Amino acid sequence: MPDSPQTPALAPNLYRSTRCGSLRPADIGSTVRLSGWVAAKRDHGGLLFIDLRDPAGPDADLPAPGNAFLRGDHSARMVQLVSHPGHATFETLSRLRLESVVAVTGKVVARPADTVNPKLATGEVEVDVDGLEVLSTSEVLPFPVERDSDVGEEARLTHRYLDMRRGPLIERLAKRARFCQLVRSHLSSRGFLEVQTPVLTVSSPEGARDYLVPSRLYPGEFYALPQAPQQFKQLLMVGGVERYFQIAPCFRDEASRADRSPGEFYQIDLEMAFATQEDVFHEVELLFHLLISSLSTKKAPSPYPRLSYADALARFGTDKPDLRFGLEIVDVTGALGGRTELPMFAEAPGRGNVVRSLLAPGAAERPRSWFDAFGEAAKALGTIGSWLQLPADGSDYKGPLSRKLTADEMGTLVAATGAGHGDAVLTCVGPPPSASVALGQARAVLGRDLGLADPDILAFCWIVDFPMFERNPETGEWDFSHNPFSMPQGGLRALEDNDPGEILAYQYDVVCNGVELSSGAVRNHLPEVMEKAFAIAGYSRDRIERSFPALWNAFHYGAPPHAGIAPGVDRLVMLLSDQPNIREVIAFPLNQMARDLLMGAPAQVTPAQLAELHLQVVPPKKP
């Protein structure tokens, strides 16, 4: 039988003397008082059997991390009750619907040998009910709360409290709680000071859309919910806090993604004074090692490799590469560019284009539609995609390139990628890095289809050397490509002497298994550098002072060099829980349409509330 869980002693309690899942043969003969939900009922020859389920977790002190009570495991939270015909409790229990809440008293007895349930922690005993108090009754359930029942997401979000009773969600919330405990204790031990920054602040012109909060006292003026505590944590560095952290709520009015909850999310926000990016990398890798070793059986090789932004795009077609498998993109511009009669290859170097290729293992016999989809994806990116198929039987090559390249040229392409019989070679011609992006998308598909990524590996890497600026495709003007508060590599001289497109920043992302977990940067702490960087992005000095008055002023009173990062709590817990959807690790998430199906938000407010805030709703114009 399973060992009894190590649960703290209960304080004196009106509703129970012990927990359902704690009963064992040693308790036979004792009288207990239990409380919980009626999880199941069975009528066997006149005897009524009830499965009584505890809530998840002890009353007071948290148990050890592996405790089954906190995990929400139904089998560790359940005991069987038995009631006999003619007893005062029998009729009442017979009429109760599932998920009604009861308190019972009774004697612990041994189950008959042929009814012992080895799958249940309490499977050798049952409680003969003597007293019953109905604490709450249940209506007919909108869906069953058995652990393995299949329930749609809309129903689960609408009745999230019932979803929690099914068990798995509570287990993930328990892991999230343990995650936060580990973060706090570890960072505190490393000299980080936990500071709570404001939730009502000022709207910032950079980043995503703000959530605005109208001021009742100041008509026409608004607070904003912070997209991140970016400016506050930098001000803490100026104020003399050497190491800061916070499990911070952040609010962004943006579309939902599988790996980001719409509206709000949480991040491990940290900042370090007198620090370089390598100092940040060291602290993050220490923290992640603790979290993974404590909460997961997965392996995470370290130290994490560093890839430049340009290198990641060239080799993997993305700045979020999955390094659990190879299939690197190969540049064949030198081998084929300008050395073939095929115009798209021959003219590539002169037009500033590159020729890049990707091995597609076992893809020779894939349907034409698969290759056409690759070609369309390449075309959508402004590049030209084509392919070469190497039949498994060793017959003549197939595909568009087989009709346009000489035997020697095809041999060069095959050798460069390491292709063999049964494989295909995908090629893309266009400007870097676009020529790699379609190949990177195909690489990701191949990785999934062929099962190339080891599910037991967490392959972290740092992406570094991001461009400081990028062209706005609509206006042609320079915009910040990442974080506007980053320090440019080369400082003020680089901003004054170099083309903006050539300037790199001390910006970095930490990526795992193809998912970006966080962005960070060495901050720009010098007002003259800040002024020049923002000038390139079209900000006048007056606009800087108006947009970021606190930072601008603070940097004139002795700001130390500082750097930071903010890994996402939701994404990390999602990764450690093997969940494909971030809503599975959040207690009360919004749905994909940014609606709270449980509480009914967003919702209209009364005219009186609007009048008090000096607001008027203007309906959108009909198209």
pTM over 0.85: yes
Which is nearest to 132 in space by CA: 95, 184, 175? 95
pLDDT category, 5, cuts 50, 70, 90? Answer: very low
Q: What is the pLDDT of residue 345?
A: 82
Task: Quote the distance between the C-alpha of residue 19 and its chain's center.
Answer: 34
Which distant-in-sequence residues (6+ apart) come within 8 Å of 423 by Cβ? 359, 360, 361, 362, 363, 364, 390
**Residue 334 — very low, low, confident or very high, per pLDDT cuts 50/70/90?**
confident
CA atoms within 13 Å, Cβ hemisphere of 177: 16
Out of 44-58, 361-375, 419-433, least confident range: 44-58
Grade residue 338 by pLDDT with cuts at 50, 70 and 90. low
Place domain 20-140 in its CATH homologous superfamily.
Nucleic acid-binding proteins (2.40.50.140)
Q: Is the pLDDT of residue 27 over 90?
A: yes
Beta carbons of 37 and 95 less than 8 angstroms apart: no
- What's the rounded mean pLDDT across residues 47-65? 67
Q: With H, G, I as helix, E, B as strand and everything else as coil, classify residue 428.
A: strand
Closest CA to 500 of 534, 525, 473: 534
Mean pLDDT estimate for the chain? 91
Q: Where in the chain is the domain with CATH 2.40.50.140?
A: 20-140
Average pLDDT, integer, range 213-241: 95
272 in helix, strand or coil? strand
How would DSSP label each residue in 443-505?
HHHHHHHTT-S-TTB--EEEEE--BSEEE-TTT--EEESS-TTBPBTTHHHHHHHS-GGG-BB
pLDDT over 90 at 461, yes or no: yes
Residue 70 has pLDDT above 50, yes or no: no
Can the peptide bond before residue 25 be classed as cis, meaning omega within 30 degrees of 0? no
pLDDT of residue 13: 83
**The pLDDT value given to residue 69:** 43
Query: How long is the chain?
Result: 623
CA gap 322, 446 in Å, rounded: 12
pLDDT higher than threshold 70 for residue 346: yes
Q: How far apart are CA 171 and CA 21, in angstroms?
A: 16
Q: Are 422 and 389 in contact (CB under 8 A)?
A: no
Q: At residue 589, what is the residue type?
A: P
What digits encode the pLDDT tens for the residues 536-583? 999 999 999 998 999 999 999 999 999 999 999 999 999 999 998 999
Mean pLDDT across the stretch 201-226? 89
Beta-strand runs (E) in 201-275 = 211-214, 222-225, 243-252, 263-273
pLDDT over 70 (residue 601): yes
pLDDT in tens, 401-456: 999 888 988 999 999 999 999 999 999 999 988 999 999 999 999 999 999 999 99
The mean per-residue pLDDT over the stretch 117-130 comes to 94
Q: Coil, strand, or helix at residue 162? A: helix
**Stretch(es) of the chain classified as CATH 3.30.1360.30:** 328-341+355-379+388-452
Euclidean distance between CA atoms 140 and 147, whole angstroms: 18
In the chain, which segments carry CATH 3.30.930.10? 170-306+461-595
Asked if the model's pLDDT at residue 67 lies above 60, the reply is no
3-state secondary structure of 71: helix
Backbone angles phi, psi at 410, to 5 degrees: -65, -40
Q: Which CATH class is domain 328-341+355-379+388-452?
A: alpha beta
Give helix 168-189 / helix 569-576 axis angle, nearest 10°: 120
For 73-82, 326-335, 465-474, which range has the lowest pLDDT when averaged over its residues? 73-82
Collapsing DSSP states into helix, strand and coil, what is residue 127?
Answer: strand
User: What's the confidence (pLDDT) of residue 410?
Assistant: 92
Residue 321: pLDDT band by 50, 70, 90 thresholds?
A: very high
Correct CATH for 170-306+461-595 of 3.30.930.10, 2.60.40.10, 1.25.40.10, 3.30.1330.40: 3.30.930.10
DSSP 376: H
Determine the average pLDDT of the residues in 276-297.
97
Contact 507, 466 (CB under 8 A): yes
State pLDDT tens for residues 478-490.
999 888 899 999 9
241-250, 356-365, 436-445, 477-486: the lowest-pLDDT one? 477-486
For residue 206 the two structure tokens come to: 């950079």
